[in-house]
Chains A and B, each alone.
Chain A
Amino acid sequence: MTKKQSRLFFLISTAVFTLVFLGLTLHSHTRFGELTHADKMSAQVVAGKDVWHHNNCINCHTLLGEGAYYAPDLTKITQQRGEAYLSAFLKDPSKFYSEERHRRLMPDPELSDTEIANVIAFLDWVSQIDNQGWPPRPILVSGATFPGTNTTSASTDSEPAEAQRPASVAAGERLFNDASTACSGCHSIAPGVDLAGPSLAGVGERADRTVAEAGYTGEADTGEGYLRESIVAPSAHIVGGERFSANGISFMPTHYGEKLDSDQIDALVDYLSTLK
């Protein structure tokens, strides 16, 4: 190869690939609107993006998987946490996490109520971007979906017990731990381990007592009815104080009634009833 040929190689390959790249970029612009639901990019979403930038959130968190690795990815966070929870969290993260336990804590971002609402709207818009289905499996902030860790009891460890359990209980447990339902992202079944939701240790037993109590505000008459109600209408009766709710609104997401079919809800109730 002579120097002239090598120069030609450089010039041609650079020109060709630059042109292809620019062409595809132009084409992408015709698709961005649809893929990102640009029509839903309200003024609030755009204002929320500014909140995101001004507070340097990207240098602790990842969003769409890009950013820093010190804090959890937030791409789908609004699908795992309700708005009520997120606004309470952003008002004071230290009420929900402790540095002793997880060795790191989000500093209070000192946002106004409007800024909080905006940034949540922004995150909600991001969560709906059509991004090839990433992440392939939901990324949880805390909690566990497999046995042998300190946030779940090792209930699936013993084979004989497994065999005797009704199929719906096993299905319920799988659903509870399944990362797309993500109950376990908020609820541990170990006693005393409160995550974003209260520990559900003994909830099967507790449910019967709850409906009998004078302070019960829901509409169920049985323990099982209460468990069902807790899933489809979390705010009907609220437990656990200000860490788990604000102004009578539970921090538990409200979408399970639509997201799960009735068999799935039955299975979850069957499973929760076994937690004694």
Chain B
Amino acid sequence: MRFRSQRVAYWYFAVALCLFGLQLVMGLLMAAKYLGPDPLLGFLPFDVAKAMHTNLLIVWVLAGFMGGTYYVVAEESRTELYSERLAYIQLAAWTLMGATAIVGYMLGWTAGIKMLEQPYPLKLVIVAVMLLFFFNIFMTIRKAGRWTLTEGVLIAGLVLAALLYLPALLPYENYTVETFYRWWTIHLWVEGVWEMIQGSMLAFLLVRLSGADREVMEKWLYVIVGLVFMAGILGTAHHYYWTGVPGYWLPIGGFFSALEPVALVGMAIYAYAAMRRSGAAHPNTLAVHWTIGSAVFTLFGAGLLGLAHTWPSINKWTHGTLITAMHGHAAFYGAYAMIVLAMISYTRPYLTGNDPARGQSLGFWAFWLQIAGMFGMTLSFATAGIGQVYLERVMGLGYLDTQLKIQIHFMMLVATGGLFAVGVVLYIVDFFRFAPSHITAPNDADGSIQPRGAA
């Protein structure tokens, strides 16, 4: 790393990876509960496990985003962070908030709204942590007096993500209205502003890994984000179809959400073309894999599998089945888990003072096991979901009877989820093999590998 304070990223990543591991424990537990019977029924029933699973996901991915942002901002603005201490305090508050939420769910302390289960006081803590974060980032940039477009898009994505969380703080009497605004947070996050974050992290990584021309990369970043919003904002309506809203949302949701994959195709071409055209052989081939992998897996999980059930006449049958879980996993993993893992893989050698190319075989095992495992999980959810749609939704077999008929797919889920979890454990082991280092040294951005001056 170039600036000493960039090391805060190490601890953000460390926390993120630990919570990632815990998330999988809950995932496997739920898969076992699908198979049943459930010996933990009275102690940790499905609903608690699910709230923990999804909340841990959001908490660790955001920790990854924040850690990554600290690293990026220091490097792009070419300065030490405004306050390292504040960054650690912020991380502590964030971790404590996450831990309290998790324990709270076990004790029945919940807001009971999907993915926004955080009880009100914790929602306020989340807002406070975000404010702390933005303060630190803005002061850093002010101090440096310069910023790049890549970092600008990244920060804008995070600020908008925080703003879009605000509707979750309001009370709603009408359940339909509550649902309407829940999607302002959830959908506009994952199919809007988080894609800004993913896009800018991709740009950051690609410029460094491939030596691609920054001007060109930033120009296309604008186009990609423009496409994301063009389709994604009105695409929100693909969640409105059956919730008690006016009928015009159906064609609007269908049309615009069907356009969403265009931006994702753009992102995949972006990554691929950067690598092809520049052809720089960066020694950290593992980071290259994660970076390209994220763009490609997003196209598969979000683009293709999202498209598969986004049209109203199909969604009518698949809505609220395991088909949704199929898409949710592949999309979330490709877009947000993999981009964070890419950031970690890229920065780790600098954060720990290692040669980027050293000892990568463990890292590659982790990569391929995860890819294979997640692909298998996606297939398991898909086959289970197709069975469910036909038997339960089309033929009219009872829900419980249908679930009994798709047990074999749940076994597949346990097996492939296990494979995936092994990949994650290897990744975590690989990460913690090296202690954090305090040594600063020039890196890619300084031209030691492929020169492209920061703007």
Contact = CB atoms under 8 A, between A and B. Distances in A.
Of B108, B229, B393, chain A has the most CB atoms within 10 Å of the CB of B229
Interface stretch (B128-136, B202-210, B233-241, B440-448): B233-241
Given A141-B398, A145-B397, A151-B401, A65 B320 contact: yes
Interface in B394-424: 394-401, 403-404, 407
Contacts of A232: none
B321 interface: yes
Contact of B398 (A11, A35, A68, A143): A143
Contacts of A32: 174, 176-177, 180, 244-245
Contacts of B316: 134-136
Instruction: Tell which of B30, B180, B242, B321 has the most Cβ of chain A within 10 Å.
Output: B242
Given A9-B222, A141-B399, A149-B401, A20 B47 contact: no
A154 to B, nearest CB: 15
A58 B112 contact: yes
B47 A68 contact: yes
Nearest to B216: A3
A104 B33 contact: yes
B395 to A, nearest CB: 5
B223 A6 contact: yes
Contacts, number: 245
B401 A142 contact: yes
Contacts of B322: 69
Given A6-B219, A9-B223, A69-B325, A140 B398 contact: yes
Contact of A21 (B33, B234, B241, B247): B234
B48 A59 contact: yes
Contacts of A97: 400
B272 interface: no
Contact of B242 (A46, A132, A149): A132
Interface stretch (B35-43, B80-88, B93-101, B372-380): B35-43
A68 B37 contact: no
A146 B396 contact: yes
B433 to A, nearest CB: 36
A100 B252 CA distance: 46
B244 A64 contact: yes
B279 interface: no
B176 A137 contact: no
Contact of A104 (B37, B114, B396): B37
Interface in B16-37: 30, 33-37
A41 interface: yes
A53 interface: yes
B110 A56 contact: yes
Contacts of B36: 99, 102-104
A107 B44 CA distance: 10
A52 B105 CA distance: 15
Contact of B37 (A28, A99, A138, A142): A99
Contacts of B397: 140, 143-146, 149
B219 A56 contact: no
A199 B19 CA distance: 49
A238 B367 CA distance: 63
Contact of B399 (A14, A41, A142): A142
Contacts of B255: none
Nearest to A58: B114
A137 B222 contact: no
Nearest to A14: B229
B113 A53 contact: yes
B220 interface: yes
A82 interface: no
A16 B333 CA distance: 31
B246 interface: yes
B430 interface: no
Nearest to A134: B242
A92 to B, nearest CB: 14
A62 B323 CA distance: 13
Interface stretch (A123-131, A157-165, A240-248): A123-131
Name the residue in B37, B246, B400, B404 with the highest tally of chain A Cβ atoms < 10 Å from its Cβ.
B400
A265 B317 CA distance: 30
Given A32-B244, A70-B46, A149-B401, A53 B226 contact: no
Contacts of A107: 41-42, 45
A146 B219 CA distance: 58
Contacts of A149: 397, 401
Nearest to A130: B244
A95 to B, nearest CB: 15
B78 interface: no
A133 to B, nearest CB: 9
A185 B244 contact: no
Contact of A132 (B179, B215, B247, B317): B247
B403 A59 contact: no
B60 interface: no
7 cross-chain pairs, A with B, having the tightest CB-CB distances, nearest first:
A103-B36, A53-B112, A65-B320, A59-B47, A134-B242, A10-B226, A142-B398
29 contacts: A6-B223, A11-B226, A14-B233, A17-B229, A18-B229, A20-B234, A24-B249, A36-B174, A41-B173, A46-B173, A56-B108, A58-B113, A65-B242, A65-B243, A66-B114, A67-B114, A99-B41, A103-B37, A103-B404, A104-B33, A104-B37, A122-B175, A134-B241, A134-B319, A139-B399, A144-B396, A145-B395, A146-B395, A151-B398
Given A72-B399, A132-B250, A134-B319, 6 more contacts: A13-B227, A17-B230, A17-B234, A32-B244, A32-B245, A146-B397
Interface of B: 30, 33-38, 41-42, 45-48, 50-51, 105, 108, 110-114, 117, 173-177, 179-180, 215, 218-220, 222-223, 225-227, 229-230, 233-234, 236, 239, 241-250, 252, 316-317, 319-322, 324-325, 392-401, 403-404, 407
